[in-house]
Amino acid sequence: MDYAVTLLGLAVVHLLAVASPGPSTVLVIQTAAVSGRRAGLLAAFAMMLGALVWAAAALYGLQVVFARFEWLYLAFRIAGALYLLYLAYMLLRHAGAPLPEADPSVDRAGAWQGFLKALLLQLSNPKVMVFMGSIFISLLPAQPPAWMDTTVLAIVAFNEFAWFALLALVFSGGAARAFYRRTKLWLDRLMGGVLGLLGARLLVTEI
């Protein structure tokens, strides 16, 4: 029973963290609105995969490596910040471009591009691992059984995909895409600005 309560608490805390606005939210919304449902769901799947990598790293000790080799953590953080700034630049640069019309071949290519962008975004941010490590240390027993590690990873996978898939389904709908088409210039500028600020913050702040 204690294990069940612990896992429930972890699931709630993690879901609240996933649902908080950040670069992942911006990217999934923008991908779904521009490239449609398939691209949005693939981006959601990529977010889940990236989160699983960092969750496994937190469970199995990569934090110790980062603590031992601070330059490695710094390198990851700088890479993540530069990637956010790159995404911001691309959004701002193409803000005035019209939303492309649906084309099955282009949609497939765009969907996989969205998947790659999302995966790189999630993998280039070591703060995800640091956060997960902190909640794992706070909520999990010191020596959890092996099945509990597997359950934790399953919870992370479910929360990540469920939330980002929900965003993808909402923002790939006809009404959402029509709104995005009308306001693309300003929305892209807003989202580009948000990503740029987050990238700059990642460069200058520490955990």
In the three-class reduction of DSSP (H, G, I as helix; E, B as strand; rest coil), residue 172 is classed as coil
pLDDT digits (tens, 9 = 90+) for 36-64: 888 999 999 999 999 998 888 878 776 66
pLDDT digits (tens, 9 = 90+) for 89-146: 887 887 776 665 544 444 565 677 889 989 988 888 766 777 777 777 667 776 777 7
Does residue 175 or residue 129 have the better pLDDT?
175
pTM: 0.76
How many CA atoms lie within 13 Å of 162's alpha carbon, on the beta-carbon side? 12
Exposed e or buried b per residue across 164-192, where buried means at least 16 C-beta atoms within 10 angstroms of its C-beta: bbebbeebbeeeebeebeeebeebbeebb
| Residue 139 neighbours by CB under 8 Å, 6+ apart | 6, 9, 10, 13
Confidence of residue 169 (pLDDT cuts 50, 70, 90): very high
